[in-house]
Amino acid sequence: MSFLNDIIHSHIGWFHFILALIAMLSGAIVVLNKKGTLFHKRTGYIYVVSMLLMNISSFFIMNFDGFSIFHFFALVSLVTIFGGMVPTIKKKKNWFGYHFYFMSWSVVGLYCAFWSEVGTRFVTNRQQFWWAVLLATLLTVFIGARIINKEAKKLNLK
């Protein structure tokens, strides 16, 4: 049974990893390019689908014998994806602002999750792990906020 679990988790792990790479690349492309174009929409849908599948696959990965903080943040990630997509479908007043902020912070959250993943793979000391992840996450949020605010000003959202 252990062998079967290793194979399943290995395949799910690889599936999750590949989707994360696709999401990181497509998310960065969407954030850094002109909004509203056909290219933006197509690349955005690649981002959304890869994020949905990646987040769903995360619930089949159990690193800490059950539901963990990483699963909690997968739920938060799903909320940001839906928070960014629902306004584009409904197109109510100020929909673009909601879409922009939710999706932009979704990408920042993805990069923060990347640092957590790097920490779990390469930092073996528990205390150093939390400090490394905290510092990398804070730096990512700081840089992400600067990029988001700069883009928001260009788009007259600020």
The DSSP-derived string for 45-104 is: HHHHHHHHHHHHHHTT--SSSS--HHHHHHHHHHHHHHHHHHHHHH--TTHHHHHHHHHH
Distances (CA, A) of 93 to 33, 55, 109: 24, 29, 26
Q: How many whole angstroms separate alpha carbon 48 and alpha carbon 54?
A: 10
Task: Give the domain ranges of the chain.
Answer: 2-154
pTM for this model (two decimals): 0.85
Mean pLDDT of the chain: 88
Give residues with Cβ within 8 angstroms of 54, minimum separation 6.
16, 19, 20, 23
Asked if residue 112 has pLDDT above 80, the reply is yes
CA nearest to 116, candidates 153, 156, 79, 61: 61
| Mean pLDDT computed over 36-55 | 96
Distance, in Å, from the CA atom of 87 to the CA atom of 96, rounded to the nearest integer, reads 7
**pLDDT reading at 95 higher than 90:** yes
Q: How far is CA 15 from the centre of its chain?
A: 15
Query: In which band, very low, low, confident or very high, does the pLDDT at 139 lie, cut at 50, 70 and 90?
Result: very high
Predicted local confidence at residue 38, as pLDDT: 96
Contact 132, 139 (CB under 8 A): no
- d(CA 119, CA 25) in angstroms, rounded, equals 20
pLDDT in the model for residue 125: 80
Q: Tell whether the model's pLDDT for residue 131 goes beyond 60.
A: yes
